[in-house]
Amino acid sequence: MTDIGFLLFALAVFAAGYTLSALTSLSAKSFLTRIAPLLESPQIQGLSPARIMGKFEGYSLSIEISKQGRNQPLFITVTLFTATPFSMKISPEGGLQKLGKDCRLLSEVEIGEPDFDERYLIETAARQKVANALSPQATRDIVDGLFHVGYSCIDVHEGAVCLSFDYPDLSAYFNPDSLRIDIKRLISLAEALSQAP
């Protein structure tokens, strides 16, 4: 390939990547515009990552859409800002997590419910508080409901409860009605966690 041919090829690859990135940003912004009516005083900020902030039933909320790499799916994070009594992370337990537990590389909390313990990896320093918080069936049902629709992680930090979701196409899953249900589940989970003994 000649130098000019290589230059034209490189330019074409760059243009295709830029166009894909621009389309992803536009679809993220149009998605955020579509869900804005869910929130009180919504504010859309930026394109990469695209973010909307506002209030939902009195809670401060942020929804951020980003892309980790050119051929990676969109990464969506829904953050509910609220006081929480501890930090923890819950994710579906797959083969890699089971291997990590078997090799004693991961330490997890088990709450004494075999089906739940088998499905999820729970990481926290507040073992007893988390076990108490997740012991009611209603709380476990909320967690199951969030993972059933495809969320990949529930992350609880001091001051925030976050849901993460890897999804290649915003329009295929997210719409205002399904997102409203997920946010209500997230609020129910945050309230259950804050009331745990």
Contact in structure between 50 and 29 (CB atoms under 8 Å):
yes
Query: What's this model's pTM, rounded to 2 decimal places?
Result: 0.76
pLDDT, one tens digit per residue, over 137-190 is 999 999 999 888 778 889 998 888 888 876 655 555 567 888 888 899 999 999
* More confident position, 107 or 81: 81
Q: Among 72, 108, 112, which Cα is nearest to 92's?
A: 108
Omega into 136 within 30° of 0, i.e. cis? no
Beta strands in the chain (DSSP E): 40-45, 50-56, 59-67, 74-81, 88-92, 120-124, 153-157, 160-167
How much is the pLDDT for 9?
40
Of 109 and 191, which is predicted with more confidence? Answer: 191
| Mean pLDDT over the full length of the chain | 77
| Terminal-residue alpha carbon distance, the chain | 70
pLDDT tens digits, residue range 20-49? Answer: 343 344 477 777 888 888 888 888 887 667
Q: How far is CA 87 from the centre of its chain?
A: 16
Residue-level pLDDT at 100: 61
Contact 78, 152 (CB under 8 A): no
Q: What are the tens digits of pLDDT across the range 43-96? A: 888 766 788 899 999 999 998 887 766 666 677 888 999 888 888 999 888 766
